[in-house]
Every structure is written in C-alpha cells, then in structure tokens.
Amino acid sequence: MEADNLLTLADENKMPQVGFGTYLINKQDEMDAAVKTAFEAGYRLFDTAQMYRNEQVLAAALNHNGIARQDVFITDKVANENQGYELTVASVDFSLEQLGTDYIDLMLVHWPINTKFFDTWRALEDVKKAGKVKSIGVSNYNRAMLELLKTQATEMPVVNQIENHPYLTSQGLVDYDHAEEIVTQAWSPLGRGAVLDNPMIQKMADHHDRSVAQIILRWQVQRGLSMIPKSVNPARIKENLQIFDFELSADEMSMLDILNRNERTGNDPEEVYELGHQYR
Ligand SMILES: NC(=O)C1=CN([C@@H]2O[C@H](COP(=O)(O)OP(=O)(O)OC[C@H]3O[C@@H](n4cnc5c(N)ncnc54)[C@H](OP(=O)(O)O)[C@@H]3O)[C@@H](O)[C@H]2O)C=CC1
Ligand SMILES: O=C1CO[C@H](CO)[C@@H](O)[C@@H]1O
C-alpha cells in the first residue's frame, strides 16, 4: 500500500494516519461515489464494522472503482453480539467472506464487554496467528480496561479507537496509549458535527483560511492521533484530508485543548462494559 502519512504500529505494520469512516453509508451508489472520491483524494484507510452491515457494500465499492485489495488498509470491528471465543473466530471468517478478501488489516473489539472480555481478545490473538488479520486492536477502552487486558493478554492492542474531539479530549487516556505504544484513533473526530459551530474555532479557521473541520483535524494530527472522519459530500471528503499543508501554533493548540467538556456523542464505555448492552 502506498500512502502519505503512514504511522508505524507497535507490530511494525503501517497504517495511514487519516482514514475514511463509513458508518451509515449503506447504499451501494452512495458508497461507490464516496469511495471513488476518497481514494482519488488520497485516503487509503477505510473503516467498517460488522455492526454497520456495510462490509460487502464497501468491498463492492472498491471493486467497482478498480481499487486493488493491496492498495487499501481495511479496519473492521467485532460486533458486541459476536463476542466470546468461538463467535469471534466465526465472525472474522464471515467478515472475510463479506469483504471478499483473505486478510483484514486491522480487527478491533468494537466495545469492551465484561463477560466476554478475555475470550474475545484471545480469539483475536489466534486469528492474527492464523494470518487472517494483520493487526489487532480495541475500541472504546479506557485505561483501566487496557490495564486489565494486560494481565492476561499475550500481545497488546496496537490501536485504541475512541470517541475524541475538542469537547472530549480524554488527554489522560491519549497519554497512556502513547506511553504503551498504542495508537489512539479518533472516531467522530468532528463530534458528528457538534463541534463545527464553535465560534472560537471559527475565528481560528478564518485566520488560516481553512474550515472549522480542517482546524479540528489538524489539531488531532499535531496531537499525534489517527482519525477517521466520515462524509458523503465530495468537497468535505477532500477538505478533511487537506490538513497536511498548514500548522497550528502552540497557543492555538492550547486553546483547542481547553475546550474539553467531557461531552460524549456516543455510549459511555463503562456502561457498555458493565451492561454488555447494544448500541443506543
Ligand atoms: N468505534 C466506534 O465505536 C465508532 C466508530 N465510528 C467510526 O468513525 C467514523 C466517523 O465518525 P462519525 O460518527 O461518522 O462522525 P464524524 O465526526 O466523522 O462526523 C460526521 C458528520 O459530520 C459531517 N461532516 C463531515 N465532514 C465535514 C466537514 N468537513 N464539514 C462539515 N461537516 C462535515 C458529515 O456529514 P456529510 O456526510 O453530509 O458530510 C456527518 O454528518 C464513522 O463513520 C465510523 O467509521 C463512529 C462511531 C463509533
Ligand atoms: O461504531 C459505531 C457507530 O455509531 C454507533 C452509534 O453511536 C456506535 O454505537 C458504534 O460504536
């Protein structure tokens, strides 16, 4: 895979820092158009999940656009309902079928669930050993969950995909991930639009002649995070990757850092861990 801005993961695999989120893109024509624009704009990472029910749609879109498997990095996630040892292994096989491939670049545990915690991870370690996935990671894990995983894991996750944007900076977790050589990857990096009308970020955007989204994504790049913004709008798909040709000052970075409100748009990982419930 040739791509700009590759990060080297702890297992030595390479992953693009900015990827393309596909949640809620389920119609084939919409996926075809989004993948075309994204690939042409330079995206090489595509983020899907068993829960999104769009693995097959994504694979078809790559085919329809003549994009070779080895030219992209595919992230997938084990759905809550598929957790546990046997179900996880079977679900990875099903995902491979849906994606029409014999390997997945990065497979994540979508959410931590107390009763399935170690068995699901052991299954991912084994499917990696079997060569079905190149790298393994987690999503929505806090520090305590990562510390717990360490007590029994043979190998640790190389990526922790978490909700992260200016209203939910989770700096303590980001620092912990970094110290443990785990790449923090921001989901909903634009807070699903919730941060886009912030008047202070707008002033910064005006100063740089950029959009608010670009300022936020650039802030994440300079914090060292990976991110997977989603858009179906061609202009927005492109602008979300045009963030490597300008820089925010230390003062601008600090200003964005202090906007944190610990405000989630999605589920609280601790609640999911305890209750093992499905998504809201
Ligand atoms: N691991 C997990 O538990 C989770 C993972 N994810 C992953 O993260 C990806 C991204 O998160 P998502 O929740 O989609 O939220 P995002 O923060 O990426 O925001 C997407 C929303 O912002 C709009 N948007 C995108 N770019 C711009 C822009 N430049 N200017 C203005 N509006 C913009 C989009 O609309 P439009 O399409 O019209 O441009 C869409 O409504 C998901 O698609 C999924 O792959 C998401 C949630 C949970
Ligand atoms: O990946 C995801 C997409 O969004 C859902 C709704 O918030 C999340 O629960 C899920 O983790």
Q: What is the pLDDT of residue 2?
A: 81
Q: What is the pLDDT of residue 275?
A: 84
Q: What is the pLDDT of residue 4?
A: 83
Secondary structure (3-state) at 62: helix
The amino acid sitting at 243 is I
Residue range 9-38, pLDDT digits in tens: 999 999 999 999 999 999 999 999 999 999
Looking at the CA of 23, name the nearest ligand. 1
Q: Is 110 annotated as a binding residue?
A: yes
Residue range 64-82, pLDDT digits in tens: 999 999 999 999 999 999 9
**From the candidate CATH numbers 3.40.640.10, 3.40.50.2000, 3.40.50.300, 3.20.20.100, the one assigned to the domain spanning 6-196+222-232:** 3.20.20.100
Task: Give pLDDT < 70 ranges for the chain.
Answer: 277-280
Q: What is the pLDDT of residue 280?
A: 40
**Is the CB of residue 228 less than 8 Å from the CB of residue 25?**
no
Q: Distance of alpha carbon 89 from its chain centroid, rounded? A: 21
52 among known catalytic residues: yes
The amino acid sitting at 85 is Y
ipTM of the complex model: 0.99
Question: In the chain, what are the domain boundaries?
Answer: 6-196+222-232
What's the pTM? 0.98
Closest ligand 1 atom to 165 CA? 17
Closest ligand 1 atom to 240 CA? 29
Instruction: Give nearest CA residue, ligand 2 atom 5.
Output: 279
